[in-house]
Structure 1
Amino acid sequence: MTKRVMILATDGFEQSELEKPKANLEKAGISTEVVSLEKGMIRGWEDKDWGDAIKVDTTVDEVSSCESYDALLLPGGQMNPDILRMNERAIALVREFGKAGKPIAAICHAPWLLAEAGLIDGKTVTGWPSIRTDLKNAGANVVDQEVATDGNLITSRNPDDIPAFSKALIEKLGATADAGDLETA
C-alpha cells in the first residue's frame, strides 16, 4: 500500500523546502497531499520575493484526522509557519500526528509549529538559527546539524539540508532513497 504524506503549508512557504522534499517523496513512491488554510493556490517565497504558486489539495478544516496519512511534512520559510502557528486547527493536526507517533518532518522555521504544538520538550531538534532560542525555551535540546531525528521528529536547518532531510523521512516511512537521486535546493 502506498504511503501518504500530508504537506501542511500556506502562503510564504520556502519554495525549495516544499517542492524538493515533495519531489523526493514522490520519486520514492510516496504520495503527497498539500493541505492549507484555504482552497485554491498558495504562493512560495524564493530569493527575497514571491515564488511559484502550488495547488492546495484540501484544507485543514476538511481533514477530519491524521488517520489517513502516514507522516506530516512541514516546510519552512519565515511567513508560512508563523501564519500556521496562529491557526488552531493547523496546530491541532500537528499535535494529532505527534500523539499518534507518526513521523513529522520540519525544516527551517517549521519547528516553530512543533514548539507551538508542545511536541519538543526533552527532544533533540534543529532549525533555522533565529528560532533556536525559541526551541530551547520550549524545552528542546537544540543541535546544529543537517538533520536531527528524535523518535518520530525529523528536523533540519535550511534548504542545503534537503537531501538529508528527505532521506530521513523517506527511510522513516520504510522506503529507500539514493542520496544521489535526491532533489537539492
Structure 2
Amino acid sequence: MTKKIALLATDGVEEVEFTKPRDALVQAGAEAVLVSPKDEILSTEGDIHPSESYKADLALGRAKAADFDGLVLPGGTVNADKLRIDADAVAFVRDFVASGKPIATICHGAWTLLEADGVAGHTLTSWPSLKTDLVRAGATWVDEEYVRDGKLASSRNPKDLPAFCKGIVELFEIA
C-alpha cells in the first residue's frame, strides 16, 4: 500500500527543504501531498531570494491528519513563522501529534511543531536560533545533522538534507 505523506508549507518555504524531501519520498514510492493554506505558494532560497511557485495539492482547510501516514514540516523562516500563527495549520499538526503518526521537521519547521505542543519530552534538532524556544517548551535540543526520537525526526538546515531524506524514508517506513 502506498504511503501518503503531507508536506505542510506556505509562502517562504525554503526551496530545497521542500523539494528534496518531496522527491525522496516520491522516489521511494510514497505519495507526497503539498498541503497549504494558499492555492499557490512561492518558495525562497536562503529566506531571501524568491524561487519557484507550487500549486497546493490540498487546501489546508480540507486536510485531515487521519488521511495521511505522516507529516513533513519543511523550513524557511517566513514559512514557519506564518504557519505557527495559522490556527488551521497548528490544529493540523496537533492532530498528527495526538495520533502518534510520524512527523519530520527540518530547520525552522520545528516552530510549527512547538506551537502544536509536539516537542515536550522529545530530543530534536533545528536551526540553532530555535534552541531556546524548544528547550523552554520541554524538548532536549542537540546539534546533530539528523535526530530520530521515536516517531519524530529532525535536521538542522539544508546541508543536512542527505541524512534527512534518507532518514524520513525510514521513518515513514516507505522502503
Superposition TM-score, scaled by structure 1 size = 0.91
Instruction: Trace 1:115-154 onto structure 2 (pairs within 5 A).
Output: 115-154=114-153
Distance 1:174 1:138 in 2: 28
**Kept after mapping to 2: 8 A contact 1:127/1:158:** yes
Q: Which residue of 2 aligns with 1:173?
A: 172
Q: Which residue of 2 aligns with 1:30?
A: 30
Q: Secondary structure at the match of 1:161?
A: helix
Q: Secondary structure at the match of 2:108?
A: coil
Q: Secondary structure at the match of 2:66?
A: coil
State the number of aligned residues.
174
Q: Which residue of 2 aligns with 1:83?
A: 82
1:8 matched to 2:14? The reply is no
Letter of the aligned partner of 1:49 in structure 2?
Answer: H
Q: CA RMSD in A?
A: 0.9
Higher helix share: 2
1:51 matched to 2:15? The reply is no
Deviation, 1:17, is: 0.1
**Kept after mapping to 1: 8 A contact 2:153/2:171:** no
Letter of the aligned partner of 2:117 in structure 1?
Answer: G
> C-alpha offsets along residues 25-56 of structure 1, whole Å, 9 cap, x if unaligned?
100001111011122x1000114311111111
Distance 2:149 2:74 in 1: 18
Letter of the aligned partner of 1:26 in structure 2?
Answer: V
After the TM superposition, list the runs of 4 or more consecutive aligned residues in structure 1 that deviate by more than 4 angstroms. none
Distance 1:147 1:160 in 2: 11
**Kept after mapping to 2: 8 A contact 1:147/1:154:** yes
Distance 2:151 2:100 in 1: 6
> C-alpha offsets along residues 57-102 of structure 1, whole Å, 9 cap, x if unaligned?
1111111x21111000110010001000001111011011111111
Q: Which residue of 2 aligns with 1:60?
A: 60
Percent of aligned pairs sharing the same letter: 44
**Kept after mapping to 2: 8 A contact 1:126/1:147:** yes
Superposition TM-score, scaled by structure 2 size = 0.96
> C-alpha offsets along residues 121-149 of structure 1, whole Å, 9 cap, x if unaligned?
11101000111111111111000001111
Letter of the aligned partner of 1:102 in structure 2?
Answer: K
Q: Which residue of 2 aligns with 1:179?
A: none
